Amino acid sequence: MDGRIVNLRSKLEIYKAGNGGAKLADCPIRDVIQGISNKWSSLLIMALAEKPYRFGELRRLVPDISQRMLTQTLHDLQRDGYVHRQVFPTKPPSVEYSLTDLGRSMFGPLHQLMQWAELNHGAVREARAVFDAED
Amino acid sequence: MDGRIVNLRSKLEIYKAGNGGAKLADCPIRDVIQGISNKWSSLLIMALAEKPYRFGELRRLVPDISQRMLTQTLHDLQRDGYVHRQVFPTKPPSVEYSLTDLGRSMFGPLHQLMQWAELNHGAVREARAVFDAED
DNA sequence: TAGGTAAGTCTCAAAAAGAGACCAGCGCTA
DNA sequence: TAGCGCTGGTCTCTTTTTGAGACTTACCTA
């Protein structure tokens, strides 16, 4: 037991393989992870995991996201298959966003990471304080 | 069983609570998650989970990262306590980066997410193809 | 003596994100 | 009936972030 995760080496090999062949963009892990590792994606996924929300509701729920980035992030999540967008022909029309099965499936591991974050944010904040105290 | 994750509501409540009080930056989950959900962090954590690497080795391993972003991302990961930076007084001095205990602990859930990504990248790519085929 | 290596920093250009005005159609109210 | 706000966006402008690439200091090698 040295803390190393089994099977990791093989995954890194996939990554390294792309290295020489200029196929880095094809690395499956990077391709998928980078779609969700940006400032707003995981936050919106977390919100939609609770229940479906409408555009304006999400905007009020996450007040420091700009309307532009909310539109764009939801669009990207929809394109990657995590989010479903349904338009209701009310007046004015309303749009509801919800997680797809793929989105709910992905939220499993993401939620694990969030639980870790909640449990360990004290340690992280302390690490920052220690680091900032040094010159 | 409706696919909803237990305890999620309470976490969203924490988030919403910050809403009115303008304390969004204090949301522990956001604070921690946003430190690792950017283009390069998870990739470098993945590399360092395999074994310690030196600066130049990481640069060669991830050839499409700029030297500037490698420096900065490693610095941020070190500040958050995930990565340890050790300078060896060789000529010229060499610097080795490795995961701390906190970093290894965080890599557990992150690795779960990466496994999901590896298993489901087919579904994601297909979703993109379907989405792009529509006008 | 020229060139390579180490781990960066510095500057400038390009890309991404944020702020806020603007849009159309309808319902409500004054 | 004139204005107002609500809906879910788009458009433009500014600021921030990222990327590309030259430059640094000190040594080792050809």
Report the nucleotide nearest the CA of residue A69, measured to C1'.
C17
Q: Half-sphere exposure of residue A132, counting CA atoms within 13 Å on the CB side?
A: 8
Contact check, Cβ <8 Å, B120/A126 = no
Distance CA B51, CA B46 (A): 9
Q: How many residues does chain A have?
A: 135
Contact assessment for residue A101 and residue B76, using Cβ atoms and an 8 Å cutoff: no
pLDDT recorded at residue A134? 81
What are φ and ψ of residue A101, in 5° steps? -60, -40
Distance CA A87, CA B90 (A): 64
DSSP string, A25-36: GG-HHHHHHHHH
- Axis-axis angle for helices B101-133, A28-36 (nearest 10): 90
Enter the DSSP assignment of A23.
-
Contacts of A35 in chain B (CB under 8 A): 124
pLDDT digits (tens, 9 = 90+) for B30-56: 999 999 999 999 999 999 999 999 999
Name the average pLDDT for chain B.
Answer: 85
- Inter-CA distances, A62 with A29, A42, A46, A81, B127, Å: 28, 12, 11, 22, 26
CB proximity under 8 Å: B 45-84 to A = 46-47, 49-51, 60-61, 63-64, 78-81
pLDDT-based confidence at A22, cuts 50/70/90? very low
Residue of B11, B110, B127 with shortest CB distance to A81: B127
Nearest to A49 by CA among B125, B28, B111, B11: B11
Three-class HEC string of chain B = CCCCCCCHHHHHHHHHHHHHHCCHHHCHHHHHHHHHCCCCHHHHHHHHHHCCEEHHHHHHHCCCCCHHHHHHHHHHHHHCCCEEEEEECCCCCEEEEEECHHHHHHHHHHHHHHHHHHHHHHHHHHHHHHHHHCC
B119 alpha-carbon distance from chain centroid? 19
Residue of B79, B110, B125 with shortest CB distance to A128: B79
pLDDT-based confidence at A28, cuts 50/70/90? confident
**Whether pTM exceeds 0.85:** yes
Give the residue on A whose Cα is nearest the Cα of B36: A37
Name residues 26-85 of chain B with a Cβ under 7 Å from nucleic strand C: 54-56, 67-68, 71, 74, 85
CB proximity under 8 Å: A 105-134 to B = 105-118, 120-121, 123-128, 130-132
Give the three-class secondary structure for A1.
coil
Residue of B39, B108, B128 with shortest CB distance to A79: B128
pLDDT digits (tens, 9 = 90+) for B65-109: 999 999 999 999 999 999 999 999 888 889 999 999 999 999 999
